[in-house]
Structure 1
Amino acid sequence: MKKIAIIILLLLGVQTIGFSQSLEESLEIAGENNPELKAYFNDYLAALEKVPQVGALPDPELSMGFFIRPMERFMGNQQADIQLMQMFPWFGMLKTQKDEASKMALAQYEVFQDAKNRLFFQVKNTWYEMYRLEEDIRITEENLDILKQYERLALIRFQSAGVGGSSSSSGMQGTSNMSSGSSTSSSSSMGSMGSGMTSGTSGKTSSKGNSSMSSSASMGEGKSGMSDVLRVRIEIKELENTLALLRDSRVPLVAEFNQLLNRNTDERVSIADSLTDTVLTLERLAVLDSITQNNPMLKMLDAEEEAYEAQKKMARLEGRPMLGAGVNYMPFSPRTENGMPMGGNDMVMPMVGLTIPIYRKKYNALQKEAELKQLAVQQRRENTVNQLTTRWSTALRDLDDANRRTKLYREQTDLARQTLNLLMTSYATDGRDFEEVLRIQQQLLDYQLRLITSIVDQHITIAILENLAATELN
């Protein structure tokens, strides 16, 4: 009984060991090292480089012609004809082009922001899944230790039952010898022999009955104790197999996490020792407002709509003439006529140019194209808002479900522990209900695992809402 009490006390004093690493630190590493995120950022930088391109004037045109034989003119012999021309778009065209390129670059920046939010959510989700796995392993190991202690407890009861059976057999033999001795000593007289024979016979019958009952009870108790040992060993084998599977599941999760951080797949990852319940601090409609205002995909579509508005203005301006200004330079050399030098002064002639946009169909088509693209963006934005609203509603439902499950499994865990303590006390006293002890222990393990899952689901759902709103909600 003393050993049994010690084992029960050990069962009630389980300690946990955890790891610690900041999730924020992992997010920072991912933001700095992830190659896909770097690619999106370089796309944004490349889009920015388009702004100075479209905001610059067209390159000036220089044309030069040289005469193989100088052309004789009144002013002298013309050696060459050099022209330099600079074209100028219509007023406001360059500004509109820069505005359109800036909006497109802003749209590309929002694509980068969306990629960053998705990356951060993947890091958080994988981190939470690793935490769930580590907690599952820890709880399973604890329950495996408890089952092994149950096994030792059942073995102690089985051995105790075996010792009790041996003592009963010895007592039965002693009682039988004492009865036969009584009958022999009482045979000295006839009267007392009769009474001695009667007394001896009745003593033998009584001792045989008692020994038979004691032997049957001890055999029954021994069989029951051995079956308890076998039952708990079956549960141990099942739990050991589950534990091996959980440990094997570490490898792909760690590899996925390190891949997101652009590290070696086998690099060690440390996980925080505990996650507490989390709640949504903002009102639900405030979260939806934050999503519709801050979501990068909506901002990207807004930037595209503004860019197409600039494209419509550009299409109208392209239908206006382009102005050109330049200079024509003609070098002359003196020529001799009647023995006297004539001319020889170089000529400089200012020039202007003008394009005549008379083919209006292409300019009308450009404007119509921009209008249709703008309409498509507006429709796409409306659809995106509907999808985000649906995901917001689904996430809130999942969060409510996780909150309810967390509360339920915490209460169920406490009740299962109380029930298990009562059953263990009963089993330590009279050895009954061991199968019920194993069933409640399995139920307690199930509740513990479900409680961890519900808490992790809370954090994952909050991470989903933060991904949609592109901001911290707690």
Structure 2
Amino acid sequence: MNFPGKLTMNLSVFVLLCSIAGISYGASTLSERKKQIKNQERVIADNEKNETIEIGDDARLSDYIKAGLMNNPGLKAAFYKWKASFAKISQAFSLPDPQFTYTKYIEGVETRVGPQERAYSINQKFPLLDKLWIRRSKAFRASEESFYNLNKQRLEQINKITDAYYEYAYLSKAILLMNENIKLLKIFESVAQTKYRTGLAPNHDLLKVQVELGKLENDLLSLEDSRLPLVSRLNALLNLPMDNLLPWPDETLEGAVLGQKYEEINGLYDELTKHNPELLSLTENIEENRDSLKLAKREYFPDLSVGVTKIETADALNPGAVDSGKDPVMVMVSFNLPLWFGRLNAGVRESRASLKAAEELLVNKQNELLTRLNYVHYKIRDALRQSNLYKDALLPKATQTLNATQFGYQGGKEDFLSLIDAQRVLFNFQLAYYRQNANFYQRIAELKSLLGEFPVDPGETE
């Protein structure tokens, strides 16, 4: 079955031109995304070959984040969703499959050149105008939307791990401080017992310290019991077994410093609107809906179908007939007729409404995130202010007060109640200091998540 070479060549050239035009659109971005997908697949394959990641005693926040980004099944699901969406780009730019038809005549159709026995035909539909380009653009926008959603989930994962990590670090500090204060109260108890036996102090001093000691021991048990659910939270984020007991973080919770970049809120508004992955995803969604509107308008124009038919003809009954047995070849061109304007108009209205909804959704989300940015920035400044207040003023004064009260009690110039109160104040200030530092680092992580930042050192705040 030999079709005319000229027609076949013209169809091939048309398809080739379509392909070249498609590759040139966003070629650099497409190439970059392909490399990112391959690299991520390689990382996932390497991780699946390795054994379960263990968090050692010297593990830092960056180790927790690395394990969480590699192991979390939710992030893997988001990656494969992006990969599936990316694969739709080439599908959207592809022509529909050509249609081949074989016809066998039950009774041959007699013609002058002979009876026609069978026919072969092939048809190809070509969308007119720029439909293929718009479909490809629409698929690319959908893929970018999935890409930014993946980045959003990565940042949320970093934020969650950081939040749980510093909560775990604070718990470690709180338990350590509690044990130190229990030891100090036991010394006070010993002093009170000695003075009570010698008649130098009343019985209620001893009872007071024992009550305070019992309260701290009860609080210590509560803190120790809270370790398991907090560890379970971290294990879930890292995709580790629930019974895996993570070591205490090696964090001092000291030195909270706000980088110059984050000092002024006004400079962060543009940063958020330009780099927040959720806003970028919604922006791509708007472009996708614009392409949908373009496609809906293109439905008013017909599509072209081109076909070739060859009919096999047997020899004529008259052997001397001119062109006996010659196979006729026919070229067919057809158009669909977009006449049902009610359906077409409804499609345009639908696309316009969807585009408007996507635009309003972006504005609404931007307002939400900017409001959240203001609140997070306030919490950062508030935590830093309180941390500096405790470090520079309250803690030194509380320490001096306790030392002076303890010295005065030993000399008989201070009562035991003042000593207990001084100890309690210092202990509460110490807890509050580390609480504010933990809050500071947690809110810094949330701020970076809002700004779309992937820091090399997640614990870095400058």
Tell me the TM-score normalised to structure 1 length: 0.79
Aligned AA (2:214): K
Amino acid at match of 1:266: D
- Name the residue aligned to 2:385: 404
Picking from 255, 275, 282, the partner of 1:294 is 275
Structure 1 gap segments, 5+ residues each: 1-18, 162-218
Give deviations 1:289-324, integer Å, cap 9, x for gaps: 111111111111111111122122212222211112
1:335-364, CA deviations, whole angstroms, 9 ceiling, x for partnerless residues?
Answer: 435999992222222222222222223223
The answer to whether residue 90 in structure 2 is matched with residue 52 in structure 1 is yes
- Contact kept, 8 Å, 1:298 with 1:381, in 2: the verdict is yes
Q: Secondary structure at the match of 2:260?
A: coil
What is the rounded CA distance, in whole Å, between the counterparts of 2:306 and 2:322 in structure 1? Answer: 35
Match of 2:374 among 393, 397, 400: 393
Aligned to 1:43: 81
Matches of 1:116 and 1:97, distance apart in 2: 29
Q: 1:333 to 1:146 in 2, by over 3 A?
A: same
1:320 matched to which residue of 2?
301
Residues 9-35 of structure 1: CA distance to partner in whole angstroms, max 9, x if unpaired?
A: xxxxxxxxxx64211111111111111
Q: Tell me how far apart the structure 1 counterparts of residues 381 and 173 of structure 2 sit (CA, whole Å).
A: 23
1:170-218 per-position Cα deviation (integer Å, ceiling 9, x unaligned): xxxxxxxxxxxxxxxxxxxxxxxxxxxxxxxxxxxxxxxxxxxxxxxxx
1:339 and 1:280, CA in 2 relative to 1: closer, same or farther beyond 3 A? closer
Q: Amino acid of the residue matched to residue 421 of structure 1?
A: N
Q: How far apart in 1 are the matches of 2:418 and 2:194?
A: 18
Counterpart selection for 1:273 from 251, 257, 268: 251
Which moves more between the two structures, 84-93 or 316-325? 316-325
Q: Which residue, out of 337, 360, 367, partners 1:379?
A: 360
Which residue is 1:242 aligned to? 219
Partners of 1:260 and 1:339 lie apart in 2 by 88
Cα separation, 1, equivalents of 2:367 and 2:373: 10
Q: For 1:446 and 1:349, locate their aligned partners in 2 and report how far apart those are by CA, in whole Å.
A: 94
Match among 152, 171, 194 for residue 114 of structure 1: 152
**Equivalent residues in 2 for 1:22-421 (5 A)?**
22-159=60-197, 161=198, 219=199, 221=200, 224=201, 226-270=203-247, 271-276=249-254, 277-282=256-261, 283-337=264-318, 343-410=324-391, 411-421=393-403
Q: Per the alignment, in what secondary structure is the counterpart of residue 334 of structure 2?
A: strand
CA contact (8 A) 1:335 1:341 kept: no
Q: Give the whole-Å Cα distance in 2 for the aligned partners of 1:24 and 1:351.
A: 66
Which entry has the higher C-alpha Rg, 1 or 2? 1
2:170–2:253: 8 Å Cα contact kept in structure 1?
Answer: no
Question: Which secondary structure state, in structure 1, belongs to the residue aligned with residue 411 of structure 2?
Answer: helix
Which residue identity does 1:249 align to in structure 2? S
> Counterpart of 1:35 in structure 2: which amino acid?
P
SS at match of 2:317: strand
**1:114-153 superposed Cα distances (whole Å, 9 cap, x missing partner):** 1111111111111111111111101001101111111222
Say if 2:72 and 2:237, in contact at 8 Å, map to a contact too.
yes
Say if 1:464 and 1:273 are closer, same or farther in 2 by CA, change over 3 A. closer
Distance 1:375 1:280 in 2: 39
Residue deviations 1:208-243 (CA, integer Å, cap 9, x gap):
xxxxxxxxxxx5x2xx25433332222111111110
1:45/1:342 Cα in 2 relative to 1: closer, same or farther (>3 Å)?
closer
Ranges in structure 2 where 5+ consecutive residues have no aligned partner: 1-56, 456-460
What is the CA-CA distance between 1:73 and the residue it aligns to? 2.2
Shift of 1:280: 4.0
CA distance in 2, matches of 1:341, 1:289: 82
- Relative distance call for 1:308 and 1:342 in structure 2 (3 A) is closer
**Greater share of helix:** 1
| In 2, Cα distance between equivalents of 1:149 and 1:75 | 121
Select 1:456's aligned residue among 421, 438, 455: 438
Identity %, equivalent residues: 27
Deviates more, 1:324-333 or 1:19-28: 19-28
Q: Is this contact kept in 2: 1:305–1:378, CA < 8 A?
A: yes
2:411 maps to amino acid? T
Distance 1:232 1:327 in 2: 102
Deviation at 1:266, TM superposition (A): 2.3
Deviation, structure 1 residue 268: 3.0
Q: 1:230 to 1:431 in 2, by over 3 A?
A: farther
**Is contact 1:155-1:225 (8 Å) kept?**
no
The Cα shift of 1:91 comes to: 2.5
Task: Look up the match of 2:19.
Answer: none
Aligned with 1:330: secondary structure? strand
Aligned to 2:412: 430
Instruction: Give the Cα–Cα distance (whole angstroms) in 2 for the partners of residues 258 and 322 of structure 1.
Output: 56
State the distance in 2 between where 1:351 and 1:340 align: 28
Q: 1:341 to 1:316 in 2, by over 3 A?
A: closer
